[in-house]
Amino acid sequence: MREFGYERAVDVAEAVALLGSDPEARFLGGGTNLVDLMKAGVERPALLVDVRELPLDQVDFTPGDGLRIGATVTNSDLAAHPDVRRHYPALAQAVLAGASGQLRNMATVGGNLLQRTRCGYFTDITKACNKRSPGSGCPAIDGEHHNHAILDASEHCIAVHASDMAVALAAFDAVISYRTADEPGESPITGFYPPVGDTPHIETTLPPGALITGVTLPPAPVAVHSRFRKVRERASYAFAIGSIAAALDVRDGVVRDVRLALGAVASKPWRARAAERALIGGPASAEAFATAAEAELAAAEALPENGYKVTLMRNLIVAVLTELTEEVSR
């Protein structure tokens, strides 16, 4: 393990300046992913800039009843926040579906967005991996890939994004705020994770040296009736093999509004816009949900061991939308 420096920043400007002082510096949030990767030799920073004490730990209403979530809000605090639970229940459920209580007490919202894939080739420095070591190859394609991507993967990388929280944020059109040494900026979450293409090592559109300062959720009345469901290989403390965040508004049996995002199917949280388009204005029926699912998953490309995810995601979309229909009708 490489010897590294450690600095604790007290404000955003200092944090950004400290990071800029060393090209091999990394921000340290809860450290629940970064420290593991350092132990494994995947990450070898020369300097850690601890941002966990920054004054970015509040959840506030925005004008118009959206929510602004600070980057250092812990996963535990986010999931327990009454306004999150009331207005965006799928977000609270998604956070609680991730990791363990101890990890959620440490993990931050900003860090959660930037966590790396758990692909077993990526986390093992004795193996090839285009994401970790560009150009070295992707052994998962011909190797172990039963939990790899079925949507938008490339011949260079088929890893999936690991965050549950980001799936719910994608469903609710979250906007990520950041700060560089020069200026503040923002990016909708749907544009935050670029296509894999031939650059799987480039995981976000965040400018170099930028610090995530928060996430804004626009007002979304539909989100009151929302759910997150995660399927995993054991009941707790495992990464998803498929997840869904869904919100639904139904009047007189007709879908008025719907939000759908899928997890563990792509290198990013997957906003299911094709399914949403197929649903809006149509009947809230199991048949319509299945048709919408097929529309979204038509683009899926399965490898020998991950084709079950097409079935799984179709079933999940139908099951969760059916549950929400019942909830809305009560």
Q: Which residues bind other proteins (CB under 8 A)?
A: 1-3, 40-41, 118, 120-121, 123-124, 126-127, 139, 142-144, 146, 231, 233-239, 241-242, 305-306, 308-309, 311-312, 315-316, 318-319
Nearer to other proteins, 290 or 295 (CB): 290
Give the nearer residue to other proteins in terms of CB position, either 164 or 249: 164
Closest listed residue to residue 312, CA positions, set 304, 320, 180: 320
Distance in angstroms between the alpha carbons of the first and the last residue of the chain: 56
Nearer to other proteins, 124 or 257 (CB): 124
* Min separation Cβ 44 and other proteins, Å: 9
Give the nearest distance from C-beta 174 to other proteins in angstroms. Answer: 26
Shortest distance (Å) from residue 184 CB to other proteins: 35
CB of 100 to other proteins, least distance (A): 8
CB of 115 to other proteins, least distance (A): 12
265 and 151 Cβ atoms separated by less than 8 Å: yes
Q: Which is nearer to other proteins, 135 or 281 (by Cβ)? A: 135
Report which of 327, 274, 321 is spatially closest to residue 300, judged by C-alpha positions.
274
Contact predicate 235/212, CB 8 Å: no
Nearer to other proteins, 100 or 205 (CB): 100
Nearer to other proteins, 44 or 86 (CB): 44
Please report the sign of the dihedral spanned by the C-alpha atoms of residue 24, residue 212, residue 42, residue 143: negative
**Nearest to other proteins of 58, 311 (CB atom):** 311
∠ CA(42), CA(43), CA(45), 5° rounding?
Answer: 155
Burial 41-73 (b: 16+ CB within 10 A, else e): ebbebebbbbbbebebbebeeeeeebbbbbbbb
Shortest distance in whole angstroms from residue 125 CB to other proteins: 8
Smallest distance, Å, CB 302 to other proteins? 11
- Which contacts qualify for 16-23: CB closer than 8 Å, 24 or more apart? 16/179, 16/180, 16/181, 16/209, 16/210, 16/211, 17/181, 18/47, 18/49, 19/49, 19/209, 19/211, 20/181, 20/209, 21/47, 22/46, 22/47
- Whole-number Å distance between alpha carbons of 286 and 52: 45
Strands 47-50 and 5-8: parallel
Q: Find the shortest distance in angstroms from Cβ 242 to other proteins.
A: 7
Structure tokens at 246: 């869904």
Taking the least distance from each CB to other proteins, the nearer of 85 and 232 is 232
Indicate the pairing of strand 59-61 with strand 47-50.
Answer: unpaired
